[in-house]
Structure 1
């Protein structure tokens, strides 16, 4: 088809996953685009001397004559130069389903926005507009053209490219994986998707939406922040950014490494969601409370262990507007010289129709990282897996663009999910067994990468006794009328388990005496020391043993 600028006489509303634009640095005057294949890879383009500025899953883009000539010499059938008008904004777009890009764009005609198609072929297009492109939950995903070249892949210096042998997981990881249960996982989804009442800033709250542009997303960010704090993380922070008049925050909890804290591994998922009426109702249970639930449950479990390298647990926002939160974080991490050696991104991991299969989506340079996840899935779960070697459309992609190893974990049948970006994406649509299995695989992968440090406190030892005091929280939570508190002692001896109210007043002692080493479960029936029922509200359970203390937050709703 004709490759020059094609003004759309019927103003085309490209309903993409990104919102109204903001001011950007000047984009290139021209680009060349070439297909990628098993032989014509991104690495081959770099080896030929080209400097890629961006990519689609099956295309690479360059923006200078020398790079275009390098592609031609290496046998890439490049198209270009594709001239880009001055000003405005440039987007890369790709059809999600089986339809080509032309049909997908036509399906998304809505609000009238003047758009020009600079180039289109197969599922891909390059778009330009002087205006702004509205969000829409349709069959096209898009992102803004990058302003800087793609960074070359970073490789973990401990690991050679490729992988000949199956991953051998340390025995401590089995104990961590065993603590993942579907009830706790579904509880996190329900808390985020509005099925359960939660407490935020000391006040009861039930989420109706987590849409990034809605004020309630601020409340969701604070909820995750407070949950990380309640787990006992000393380093919890907001990562603020803004776009198109909207201020938003990523939420980060850090578990520092004991010996190589400069090596960073990230477990992440996007907190935000969308629907047909996102400002009012967007429960976004599968997309993506399911992924955030995996991050929160893993953070809750791994807080009780030590690792040689640092683990960051991140809930991103702005994903549904075009990966804005993760792009902000990844770009700043690259600019700061952070050594991020592995990113595990969870997005839509709690639904299946007929295939109990997980897609592990990454890129060739980090096959070794994808294989570890593949081995974790097969070692600890009944999940089937499929490895896809291209990346697009979720929060792992910005990390890959900055050269950081990353992959996406996503349910195989995500495109069949009947409530995708709809108000019916509620907790009840999710399948806890599948989501818990994906969480187990992701937890095992991140724990393996960060390396359990047995010498400084990872669970181990004889007969399942941990190396230090562990508190696993209470289930159910919220609860009415009773809840079970689980903890483990590293050795037999004096132990105390007590309940306190928000003012620090002792409500009731549940255990005060000698206890054996190992796991314990104690039921609190929601009564005080005199046997009377206590009112609804936030309470804290605290276990003390051998000079150590752990505290957890509980919510009683009568």
Structure 2
């Protein structure tokens, strides 16, 4: 692969390629149809390292093949699939050039927000779950779904996404799957540096991972942001696994870098994408069961075969932010499929276009399949994994041949204080920007945001605002503490005013309003905050002299 002056693998261009080009989309289907044959020749699908995460092992036939038979198979392969796009180095898709909408989105991603998400999901801080305040001390998948009071990450995740306005059952869904276990009696954590085929097989139903304490339905959380343009049937996926592990996995597995970092990126995307329209549909998926061997992503791919043909690409964020040498260098595991290179190149273009400051090893041959992106590789879908500088690659790559692996990986010491926040923030922004760019932003949902006033009446408060073009409804929020306090939605109206009669006299009430589009996930930014109170009426005693007639 050619190198740029900085020693980083640079993309080349595949003539005539375009992500929405019908010719190449048809070739993608041919590529998928020939997947089984190509496994004999593709280093991406036959060479997997399980050097840092449990990964499926592609079983290879151990029967010797005669040379003539190999030649015959190869000739048939060439004849049948001669029109299939060849494995190439990264291309530069025109969809990931500079876009002011993407710049606006990235400007809203702050280190403060990213840090808080990581702290919340890794047990550093108490978080509101229902009516209680809890710490999320472990996210090990068996504990996520057996009502462990210290593993309530999944309900907390759902509550936060619903607060963003994602409607349960429509744009916020659960993908349920049933893991099947073959207990071994082994209670210790998997040694992922020595994991073998006997431990993690190619079949989710025969995987052997310790001796889990229960069998129940597990779930992946899926956020859908429908596309608004002519390519709304095409999908861009942003994924991360939310589960964690450690030697004390049932009680103490903070997983700050692995993988609260990826969860933080997805939460920021969900929070910010709702304010914009995109040509393509975006799905943000929080996988579980990854630490057991990619169970959640495998199940999703198996259960959505028709969707695979419509996926433009997958950005999978898994374990980043540890950067002991503070060189801002990460790894992009891209593989050799053209569609994967589309996604990888988009990531590098976003890093350049918005001056994010990341260096990177761009890994094609030898890319690892030890995270959820590999489930999509097996379906012929272009995908990348974004990872810390876990391995030492060629010195000509962006990390200069260094290895900066987190020594706290899969330990109870994988906490946020071990992470380098400038690198964490830049990687989150690059992931968010890549997905936004691939989805083709069309602009903000609304040209303006509501500006409101609140006027006290005798026994009510009237909230008014100017109509917002394109808005179908307005969500009205109220706080009883302050403009910086916690707001609760009190109404949804189709007019540009709201009368609040559920008030107590001499109390301050704080209001905000958000415009929304029905039948989609599209919101304005929250309005200004307006405050009003209704005072107790003042009555005056008036003395009127009594005059008696005749006196």
TM-score by length of 1: 0.59
Residue 293 of structure 1 and its aligned partner are, at CA, apart by 0.6
Alignment of 1:91-102 (within 5 A): none
Inter-CA distance 402–347: structure 2 relative to 1 (3 Å threshold): same
How many pairs are equivalent? Answer: 375
Q: In the alignment, which residue of structure 2 is the partner of 1:273?
A: 244
Q: 2:227 aligns with which of 257, 262, 274?
A: 257
Give yes or no for contact 1:221–1:250 (8 Å, CA) kept in 2: no
Q: In the alignment, which residue of structure 1 is the partner of 2:70?
A: 72
Question: How far, CA to CA, are the matches of 2:47 and 2:72 in structure 1?
Answer: 19
Alignment root-mean-square deviation, CA: 4.1
2:213 is equivalent to residue 242 of structure 1: no
Where do 5+ consecutive residues of structure 2 fail to align? 1-32, 50-56, 75-80, 182-214, 392-403, 452-466, 486-503, 518-522, 528-551
Inter-CA distance 71–250: structure 2 relative to 1 (3 Å threshold): farther
2:154 is equivalent to residue 176 of structure 1: no
Q: In the alignment, which residue of structure 2 is the partner of 1:356?
A: 328
Residue 248 of structure 1 and its aligned partner are, at CA, apart by 1.3
Deviation per CA, 1:464-509, whole angstroms, max 9, x where unpaired? Answer: xx724399xxxxxxxxxxxxxxxxx999xxxx998635xxxx5557
2:363 is equivalent to residue 388 of structure 1: yes
Q: In the alignment, which residue of structure 1 is the partner of 2:310?
A: 339
Relative contact order, CA 8 A, sep 6+: which one is greater? 2
2:156 is equivalent to residue 223 of structure 1: yes
Deviation per CA, 1:428-463, whole angstroms, max 9, x where unpaired? Answer: 222222111001111111111110113xx35xxxxx
Residue 163 of structure 1 and its aligned partner are, at CA, apart by 2.2
Residue 74 of structure 1 and its aligned partner are, at CA, apart by 7.6
Residue 332 of structure 1 and its aligned partner are, at CA, apart by 1.7
Q: In the alignment, which residue of structure 1 is the partner of 2:289?
A: 318
Give yes or no for contact 1:306–1:452 (8 Å, CA) kept in 2: yes
Inter-CA distance 200–550: structure 2 relative to 1 (3 Å threshold): farther
2:420 is equivalent to residue 446 of structure 1: no
Question: How far, CA to CA, are the matches of 1:403 and 1:53 in structure 2?
Answer: 11
SS in 1 for 2:362: strand
Q: 1:205 aligns with which of 112, 118, 134?
A: 134
Q: In the alignment, which residue of structure 2 is the partner of 1:233?
A: 166
Deviation per CA, 1:364-423, whole angstroms, max 9, x where unpaired? Answer: 112222111111122220111110112321111101111111000111147621211111
Task: Give 1 or 2: higher strand fraction.
Answer: 1
* Deviation larger for 347-356 or 411-420: 411-420
Inter-CA distance 49–508: structure 2 relative to 1 (3 Å threshold): closer
SS in 2 for 1:213: helix
Question: How far, CA to CA, are the matches of 1:432 and 1:283 in structure 2?
Answer: 17
Question: How far, CA to CA, are the matches of 2:424 and 2:379 in structure 1?
Answer: 29
Inter-CA distance 310–49: structure 2 relative to 1 (3 Å threshold): same
Question: How far, CA to CA, are the matches of 1:72 and 1:185 in structure 2?
Answer: 52
Question: How far, CA to CA, are the matches of 1:546 and 1:292 in structure 2?
Answer: 26
Question: How far, CA to CA, are the matches of 1:164 and 1:272 in structure 2?
Answer: 34
Inter-CA distance 529–307: structure 2 relative to 1 (3 Å threshold): farther
Question: How far, CA to CA, are the matches of 1:75 and 1:264 in structure 2?
Answer: 35
Q: 2:421 aligns with which of 418, 428, 432?
A: 432
Give yes or no for contact 2:136–2:151 (8 Å, CA) kept in 1: no
TM-score by length of 2: 0.60
Deviation per CA, 1:177-228, whole angstroms, max 9, x where unpaired? Answer: 1111111000000110111111122321111110001134872112111211
Q: In the alignment, which residue of structure 1 is the partner of 2:91?
A: 163
Alignment of 1:462-541 (within 5 A): 467-469=447-449, 500=478
Question: How far, CA to CA, are the matches of 2:475 and 2:58 in structure 1?
Answer: 59
Q: In the alignment, which residue of structure 1 is the partner of 2:350?
A: 376
Give yes or no for contact 1:499–1:510 (8 Å, CA) kept in 2: no
Q: In the alignment, which residue of structure 2 is the partner of 1:194?
A: 123
Question: How far, CA to CA, are the matches of 1:71 and 1:467 in structure 2?
Answer: 65
Q: In the alignment, which residue of structure 1 is the partner of 2:203?
A: none
Residue 246 of structure 1 and its aligned partner are, at CA, apart by 4.0
Give yes or no for contact 1:50–1:68 (8 Å, CA) kept in 2: no
SS in 1 for 2:369: coil
Give yes or no for contact 1:254–1:312 (8 Å, CA) kept in 2: yes
Inter-CA distance 257–165: structure 2 relative to 1 (3 Å threshold): closer
Q: In the alignment, which residue of structure 1 is the partner of 2:401?
A: none
Question: How far, CA to CA, are the matches of 2:64 and 2:129 in structure 1?
Answer: 55
